[in-house]
Amino acid sequence: MSASIAIVDGGSFVLPYDYQWVKALAARGTRVAFYGSDTRYNGTFLAAMAQLPNVEVHRRAVSGTVSPRWKGVLAYIALLARLAWRSRRHDMVNLQFSVLWPLELPLWWWLRRKLVFTVHNAVPHGHAGLRHRPTQWIASLARSLLFVSEATREDFMRRYGERFRAKSQLLPHGLLPVAPQAAAAAYTSRGAPEALVFWSTVKPYKGVELFAELARSPRLAGLSLEIYGAWDRGLLALQRELAALGVKVHDGYLDDARLAQLLSRNVVFLLPYRDASQSGALYALLNHGCRFICADAGDLGGFMRRFGLDGLLLRERSAAAVADCVAYLHSHDEEVMQSLQRAQQALRWDRLMDEHAGWW
């Protein structure tokens, strides 16, 4: 009989990743039950997941995008109760993200012999302390830890101690299409870009304040500067400043059609993160044949070095460094395209699953 795995992302925080993970497992004959939330965004991934062979989807209105907090808590209790009721059917329970740890810990303790905790971040974004106690408690209960990047694993060991390494496994982040049906787009030479673009949710750690310096840089004159994504409410003053400097700002999520249009344009995407474990945006851009420049933060730096893309890695967070990367892209266009194409092939989910077949 094939193995049965429960994948738990109670708030559907990383649905595009969940979908690729579930799809890769199901393709290998594993029976998968996904426990997640309805969501205002990325709902197409839930619908597509439910159509996969060997997959069943259990969903409640947990996410704050579809429910007020008190209803979301009740919905999460119902989701956890369903998981507990059905837990004997599952050989493994894979937790992607914690939603409300006081509710979860008794269940994770009960399921500790089956629990595999996927660590996307050593601590939550914006957490000021060295350690995040609920993350440490869940990691201690889990029989195994699954890391999506080597950078995240090393950061985790630095924060929580080497005792966790013995039960750690690495399954690198794979390609991340922005729609379930989207295939990988081949890399082609495009010539000089028309714009420098940031695309992702706009949060303090993502470093978009760099666009103010870019707007004042004579070396980047002639390049449109554009930011697409839902903004953190604490950054609205920065949003107004950037708009006044001529940066094109779209505050909100792009629908599938507008996002596909953006990803097909002749632009260079900029990921100026100040702090990051890994970026889902990077793996989406890679899937869609886009060119990008990265700050040297976490997995972003590791990815660029691994695939010989050091010339597109910011030596510092400055307009001069960005201009140097744009110049490098212009003078090494064919070489960059070949490196990105190799990276795209290396990070197909089927290849990653074959290379890390012994992860559980």
The CATH number of the domain where 325 resides is what? 3.40.50.2000
**Is the predicted pLDDT of residue 358 greater than 70, yes or no?**
no
- Which residues are CB-neighbours of 89 under 8 A, at least 6 positions away? 4, 33
If asked whether residues 31 and 140 sit together in one domain, one would say yes
**Is the predicted pLDDT of residue 18 greater than 70, yes or no?**
yes
Q: Quick one: how many helices (H) and strands (E) in the chain?
A: 14, 12
If asked whether residues 317 and 243 sit together in one domain, one would say yes
* Average pLDDT score, the chain: 94
340: alpha, beta or left, given left = phi > 0 and alpha = psi -120 to 50? alpha
If asked whether residues 171 and 206 sit together in one domain, one would say no
Residue 184 located in a structural domain:
no
Residue 340 located in a structural domain:
yes
* Structural contact between residues 283 and 213, judged by C-beta atoms closer than 8 angstroms: no
Residue 248 located in a structural domain:
yes
Sign of CA dihedral 54, 60, 64, 67: positive
Helix axes 150-160, 299-306, angle to 10 degrees: 140
Residue 188 located in a structural domain:
no
**121-162: per-residue pLDDT in tens?**
999 888 889 999 999 999 999 999 999 999 999 999 999 999
* Structural contact between residues 291 and 193, judged by C-beta atoms closer than 8 angstroms: yes
Strands, sheet with 115-119, edge to edge from the N-terminal-most edge strand:
55-60, 31-37, 4-9, 92-97, 115-119, 144-147, 168-170
If asked whether residues 199 and 171 sit together in one domain, one would say no
If asked whether residues 168 and 223 sit together in one domain, one would say no
Q: How many CB atoms lie within 10 A of CB 106?
A: 11
If asked whether residues 201 and 171 sit together in one domain, one would say no
- Which residues are CB-neighbours of 197 under 8 A, at least 6 positions away? 226, 227, 228, 262, 265, 267, 268, 269, 270
Judge if pTM exceeds 0.85: yes
**72-106: per-residue pLDDT in tens?**
999 999 999 999 999 999 999 999 999 999 999 99
If asked whether residues 264 and 310 sit together in one domain, one would say yes
Q: Does an H or E element contain 140, and which? A: helix 133-141
Mean pLDDT (whole number) for 273-290: 90
If asked whether residues 33 and 127 sit together in one domain, one would say yes
- State the Rg of the chain over Cα: 21
Residue 59 located in a structural domain:
yes
Instruction: Give Cα separations from 352 to 25, 173, 355 (angstroms).
Output: 11, 9, 5
**C-alpha span between 300 and 204 (Å, rounded):** 17
Q: How many CB atoms lie within 10 A of CB 260?
A: 14
Residue 187 located in a structural domain:
no
Strands, sheet with 224-229, edge to edge from the N-terminal-most edge strand:
248-251, 224-229, 195-199, 268-271, 291-294
Residue 189 located in a structural domain:
no
Mean pLDDT (whole number) for 306-312: 96
Q: What is the reported pLDDT for 360?
A: 57
Q: Does an H or E element contain 27, and which? A: helix 15-27
Mean pLDDT (whole number) for 65-77: 95
* Structural contact between residues 342 and 307, judged by C-beta atoms closer than 8 angstroms: yes
If asked whether residues 16 and 149 sit together in one domain, one would say yes
Residue 133 located in a structural domain:
yes
Number of domains within the chain: 2
**C-alpha span between 195 and 74 (Å, rounded):** 45
Q: What is the reported pLDDT for 21?
A: 96
If asked whether residues 67 and 209 sit together in one domain, one would say no
If asked whether residues 161 and 204 sit together in one domain, one would say no
Q: How many CB atoms lie within 10 A of CB 286?
A: 26
If asked whether residues 240 and 158 sit together in one domain, one would say no
Domain of residue 262, residue span: 195-346
**Tokens linked to 284:** 């989406």
Residue-wise DSSP of 190-228: --S-SEEEEES-B-GGG-TTHHHHHHT-GGGTTSEEEEE
